[in-house]
Amino acid sequence: MLTSLSETDELARAFKALSHPNRLAIYLELLRYSETSIKHSCCLGDIIRHLDVGAPTISHHIKELVNAGLIQAERDGKFLRCRINPDMRDRLGAFFNASPT
Instruction: Give the neighbor-by-neighbor strand order of the sheet with 79-84.
Output: 42-43, 79-84, 71-76
- For residues 80-101, average pLDDT: 88
For 23-76, write each residue's pLDDT tens digit: 999 999 999 888 776 666 778 888 888 888 888 999 999 999 999 999 999 988
Where are the domains positioned within the chain? Answer: 7-97
Distance CA 3, CA 32 (A): 30
pLDDT for 86 beyond 60: yes
Distances (CA, A) of 15 to 24, 25, 99: 10, 13, 19
Asked if CATH classification 1.10.150.20 holds for the domain at 7-97, the reply, yes or no, is no
- DSSP letter at 19 equals T
